[in-house]
Structure formats: structure tokens, C-alpha cells
Amino acid sequence: MKQYVVDAFTDHVFSGNPAAVCVMEQWLPEETMMQITKENNLSETAFAVKENDGYRLRWFTPGGEIDLCGHATLATAFVIMKYIDAQLDHITFHTMSGDLVVKKAGDLLEMDFPAYDLQPVEISQEIIDTLGIKPQKVYMGRDLLCVVSEEEFVRNFVPDLEKIKALPGLLLHITAQGKEYDCVSRSFAPKLNVAEDPVCGSGHCHIVPYWLQALQKDTLVAYQASARGGVLYCQMNENRVVLRGKAALYAESEIYF
């Protein structure tokens, strides 16, 4: 079975967020998909099968299946549009989070995702101890979003993964207003056996709604300040988050099992 590895939210390899992509004729047993995912040892492996007017898409982390993943969706659309059906200018993915449409937008790929409903939560001592500082604000969607005052804190933060595991939410995102970019962030997912997600699309379904409102802007250029780094071009459309980014093919290979 052919597999592609794509660096998402970047225009060159060795940056952005790598995702493995398998576009298949039919579904493999779930156990096999998990074994492939663990063997890849990337934050996500995406599996897609053509279905009706689009593709059924599922995302797996080394810790299990997940309900939404931005970078692996971008990577899958990139693979299908470039290597499988170059005539397509948009794709509808049928997913656990509903239908997700990805379309070409010049030299970018544009994704339309559901925004998470952010609820303010109490800044607990547990959160303060985990970050080492008291954040300005904390919100809960699917994940925990902590807003801090300094970009340098986000960039230099050294995570204690065991403490992060004990926090509520599936992932932890820390974010601050940026200098070169509208906002900067980092995303940690030890509950999914992923220490840090290099560029987290679903995380920006928390981050973008917050910063658009806080900055009173219509569009954002967001930077994920992981070691690899990645840029997302973002806006809202009612209760949907529009994420645009680039992708670069790192490898294609054959899986034998």
C-alpha cells in the first residue's frame, strides 16, 4: 500500500507538521491502521477511502483515533489533488466532525472547519503550576486554551508532560499576541502520546476564534512556534474557521504487511 508523508502548513520540507497519508481502495481493520500509525510515530496518520461525492477521512494518533485534525486534512487534500486526481479543485471529506471541504485558493489550500465553543474556566493552581506563571485567561473547548501576555514565554516554554496530562482537555494550547504575526502558539498532546504537535489545525479552531475577537480583526496570520514552525492564514465564517496553508511532499513509500 502506498503511503505519502507531507509537511503541512509550510512550503518546504523539514518544517511545518508532518502527516502520513494513506488513500486506499477499502478500509483496513482498525487494529491495522493503529499499527501503521504507531509504526509511523508521527502526530497523525490519515486514512481516506473514496465515498460518494468525496472521501471518508479518519485521523489516528499513536494514542488512538481523533475527531478533528487540520494538518493531516491539508496533507490528504494535497496528496489527492496532486497525485491521485489532479483535475479536482476541491474535495469534501466525510469525517467524525461532519463534512469538511478543502479547496484550492491560489497557491494555498483552504479548509473549512467547525469552531470550538470556548467557555472561560477558572485559573486553577494546577494550571499555574503547570505553566509556571498565571495565564491571563483560560478557556475550554475540546482542548484547554491558555492565553499569556508574552510571545517569548510561548516560544521558550519547556513543558512538563506529566503535569499537562493531569490538566482538563484533550490538548493544551498556549498562545500570545505576536510581534511579526498576529498570534503565536504551541500545542501539546501527551494524552495522545504526542509530546508537541508542531502545527495544530484543530488547535487553531480554538485559537482563531479567541484572537479574532480579542484583536477585533477579520483575518489573522498565525504562527505555531514549535521547533519546526508553521504559518496559518485564518478567518471566521460565522461558526466556522477557515484555515489556509501550503504543503510539501517529503516522501512516498510502499507499506508491506
Q: Are strands 230-237 and 247-254 parallel, antiparallel or unpaired?
A: unpaired
In the set 25, 31, 44, 238, the catalytic residue is 44
- Any long-range contacts for 180-184 (C-beta under 8 Å, 24+ apart)? 180/223, 181/221, 181/222, 181/223, 181/231, 182/211, 182/215, 182/217, 182/220, 182/221, 182/222, 183/207, 183/211, 183/215, 183/220, 183/222, 183/223, 184/151, 184/154, 184/155, 184/222, 184/223, 184/224, 184/225
From residue 57, how far is each of 186, 202, 221, 229 by CA, in Å? 25, 15, 27, 25
Active site residue 122: no
Find out whether 67 and 205 touch, Cβ atoms under 8 Å.
no
Report the alpha-carbon distance of residue 166 to residue 244 in Å, rounded: 32
Enumerate the active-site residues. 44
